[in-house]
């Protein structure tokens, strides 16, 4: 796999292990590999948090904000569920809010008979979700993506947000939990009418590439349909085949629009605008390659695997933000990043939170379609996965 795609652009494979000394990191404070599951950590837990959680018979998972932040924070829910199991605390875990269906697909939702008083309730989620439900709760856990640092332990750094959230909660709960890197839960798939319709129309035959244009910050993160089509044409021409291109975009009016474009020489294009995350979850494993900007649907594509555990390589494009923090940490979730993104990664910085203005304006046109296509071809051919 070529490490450098073009001048100032670098490929980072999802399986890459980052040494603790290579980035700005905070020591975890214990030899995690040397502790058995359930063993107390060498410093005290948050006694108030543990006492209150131990008395809860119900855990609500409540997210109201961005899809990407929600998905990358689900590892903290996993940590809490792992803690309940290790401590033999039986509690109902249920999801509420707009992402309840997706969260249920992770296997984190339980309906076990409770051992703690049913009337006592905890809520875990983002600030908006927690504040909407915190008035009658025993304890609340707010998951802020800016809060947990890049941890380091056992000689390696853990920069991805799923690792940060999981390890931060492990430290607060005070015992070694069973989770290991990567810490992000997977999202299960199933039969889907949209998938079957696309298959019947031939859109899932041959080389199928999904490219994500949807973004909450399109002026900064949209690679544009034109560049994506050029990328697909380069790939199809090199493969000497016709490619089916699924262009996945948002819908400002909240509606769903599915339309075709005139065929190109090597590519047929289908636009899927405003399709729900639930439908896309079932569609992603049927693709051969997925490329997207640093956005929630790209993270969802990486966390989605078929019933047999298989799925396509996923490539995220990072122009400004850290490519390591804003990734799932899963081995098939790769990144192509600019020099600015690499500096944000190395220093554990954020251009928004830390008000870091780039020396020159960095846009998504920094990634030439031809250079990006060469990296994608390597992944399609099994190199660097």
- What would the pLDDT profile of 20-44 be if each residue is shown by its tens digit? 999 999 999 999 999 999 999 999 9
Choosing from 173, 207, 233, the residue where a domain stops is 173
SS3 per-residue string spanning 191-216: CCHHHHHHHHCCCCCCEEEEEECCCC
Domain membership flag for residue 334: yes
Please state, in angstroms and rounded to a whole number, the distance separating the CA atoms of residues 84 and 177: 10
- Please give the radius of gyration of the chain, using alpha carbons only, rounded to the nearest integer: 21
26 in a structural domain: no
Q: When comparing pLDDT for 219 and 181, which is higher?
A: 181
Examine residue 22 and state whether it is found in any structural domain, yes or no.
Answer: no
Structural domains in the chain (count): 2
Bridge partners, 125 (sequence order): 62, 142
The answer to whether residues 120 and 153 belong to one domain is yes
Q: Does 19 fall in a domain?
A: no
Q: Do 116 and 239 lie in a common domain? A: no
Residue the block writes with tokens 């990664």: 345
**At residue 384, does pLDDT exceed 90?**
no
Between the alpha carbon of residue 221 and those of residues 104, 319, 326, 366, the distances in Å are 29, 8, 13, 11
Residue 212 lies in a domain: yes
From 4-18, 157-171, 273-287, the region with the lowest mean pLDDT: 4-18
Average pLDDT over residues 369-383: 92
| Nearest-10 crossing angle of helices 296-303, 67-86 | 40
Work out the percent of the chain whose per-residue pLDDT is above 70. 92
Let me know if residue 183 belongs to a domain. no
Q: Is the pTM of this model over 0.85?
A: yes
Residues 169 and 131 in one domain: yes
pLDDT value at 195 more than 70: yes
Do 224 and 158 fall within a single domain? no
Model confidence at 2, pLDDT cuts 50, 70, 90, reads very low
Residues 213 and 298 in one domain: yes
**Domain containing residue 49:** 31-173
Same domain, 306 and 364: yes
Q: Is residue 25 part of a domain?
A: no
Looking at every residue in the chain, the average pLDDT score rounds to: 91
The mean pLDDT value for 339-360 works out to 86
Cis ω before 72 (30° cut-off from 0):
no
* CATH code of residue 200: 3.40.50.2000
């Amino acid at each position: 796999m070529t490490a450098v795609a073009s001048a100032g652009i670098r490929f980072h494979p999802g399986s890459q292990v980052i040494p603790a000394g290579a980035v700005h990191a905070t020591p975890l404070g214990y030899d995690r590999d040397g502790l058995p599951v359930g063993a107390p950590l060498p410093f005290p837990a948050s006694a108030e948090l543990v006492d209150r959680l131990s008395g809860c018979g119900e855990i609500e998972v409540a997210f109201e904000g961005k899809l990407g932040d929600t998905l990358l924070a689900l590892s903290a829910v996993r940590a809490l569920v792992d803690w309940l199991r290790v401590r033999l605390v039986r509690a109902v875990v249920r999801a509420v809010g707009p992402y309840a269906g997706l969260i249920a697909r992770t296997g984190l939702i339980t309906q076990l008979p409770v051992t703690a008083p049913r009337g006592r309730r905890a809520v875990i989620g983002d600030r908006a979700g927690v504040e909407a439900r915190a008035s009658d709760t025993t304890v609340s856990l707010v998951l802020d993506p800016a809060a947990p640092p890049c941890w380091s332990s056992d000689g390696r750094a853990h920069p991805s947000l799923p690792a940060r959230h999981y390890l931060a909660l492990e430290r607060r709960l005070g015992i070694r939990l069973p989770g290991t890197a990567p810490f992000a839960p997977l999202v299960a798939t199933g039969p889907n009418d949209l998938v079957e319709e696309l298959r019947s129309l031939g859109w899932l035959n041959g080389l199928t590439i999904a490219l994500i244009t949807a973004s909450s910050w399109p002026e900064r993160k949209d690679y544009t349909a034109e560049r994506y089509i050029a990328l697909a044409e380069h790939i199809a021409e090199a493969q000497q085949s016709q490619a089916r291109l699924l262009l996945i975009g948002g819908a400002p009016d909240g509606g769903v629009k599915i339309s075709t474009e005139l065929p190109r020489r090597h590519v047929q294009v289908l636009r899927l605008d405003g399709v729900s995350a639930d439908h896309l979850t079932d569609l992603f494993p049927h693709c051969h390659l997925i490329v997207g900007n640093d956005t929630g649907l790209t993270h969802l594509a990486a966390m989605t695997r078929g019933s047999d555990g298989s799925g396509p390589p996923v490539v995220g494009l990072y122009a400004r933000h850290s490519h390591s923090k804003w990734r799932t940490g899963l081995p098939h979730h790769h990144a192509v990043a600019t020099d600015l993104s690499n500096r944000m990664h190395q220093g554990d910085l954020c251009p928004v939170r830390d008000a870091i203005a780039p020396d020159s304006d960095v846009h998504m046109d920094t990634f030439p379609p031809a250079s990006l296509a060469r990296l994608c071809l390597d992944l399609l051919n099994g190199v660097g996965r």
